[in-house]
Amino acid sequence: MLDLSRYERAFDQAYPKYATDRYQAIKTLTDRFGVYQALQQIQSSQFQQFAELLEPLIAIKNYKSQTPFPSDIKTVLGYVIELKQCNVPVMPLSGEPERIFLAIIEQKGFQLPTVSAVFHFCHPRWFPIADRNVKAACEKLKKAHASDFEGIEVPKLPDATTSATNKLMKYRSFITFIEHVARLQREQHGGAPDYRFVDKALMVLGGDKIKTTS
């Protein structure tokens, strides 16, 4: 497999909205979900009053938006807090994470790219991000280095209307492929590539951004 390092290095210039500073800031923000009292806080009467004030604004936004925001903010926050606070098992997308994934993916405005990002920011060591650029990069790698990916299917994004179980299967396929990419990078080119490294490289490779940043 080709060395992905040059693609990873090109990421911050190619995608400044997703660059390192903003990524680290969001990671820090998700620490709030790990606070022991977080679930109790969203059960409070004060939070309920806030959610009621927020409801009409969400309704207005969703009336005109192509990407709806969850109207049941309390339920979604509850699932995300549970995700942040749960222990990830040896098979990462099983047990509690699997239950939470199936619950979140059913919420309005949440398809696999968004849910995978939620999982990644809550547990970056265990869950990669899946989106169109990553999918395109996986296709390129499989085509160009077929022998390195023998027996491993190219992951595909699920249709929005498919079942939650189908979306779970699709995310598992992304995890399998991306984990294999990280292993090949490590074995063939050295270093200790994590999911953040691979995501940055695949975003650039899948979006052909290297042409403007090399």
Reduced to 3 DSSP states, what percent helix, strand and coil does the chain have, rounded to the nearest 5? 70, 0, 30
Token pair of 116, please?
């995978």
pTM of the model: 0.91
pLDDT for 202? 96
pLDDT score recorded for residue 108:
85
Which residue ranges of the chain lie beneath pLDDT 70? 209-214
Contact 185, 198 (CB under 8 A): yes
How confident is the model at residue 41, as a pLDDT?
Answer: 92
Number of domains in the chain: 1
pLDDT digits (tens, 9 = 90+) for 66-84: 778 888 899 999 999 999 9
Angle subtended at Cα 161 by Cα 181 and Cα 82, rounded to the nearest 5 degrees: 65
Residue 105, C-beta contacts closer than 8 angstroms, at least 6 positions apart: 111, 112, 115, 164, 167, 168
Look up the domain containing 132 and give its range.
5-213
Q: What is the pLDDT of residue 210?
A: 54
Q: Which pLDDT value is given to residue 212?
A: 42
pLDDT at position 28: 94
DSSP run (H or E) holding 113:
helix 112-122
Residue 84 near residue 96, CB atoms below 8 Å: no
Q: What angle do CA 47, 106, 68 make, to 5 degrees?
A: 65
Q: Provide the angle, in degrees to the nearest 10, between the axes of the packed helices 164-189 and 95-104.
A: 120
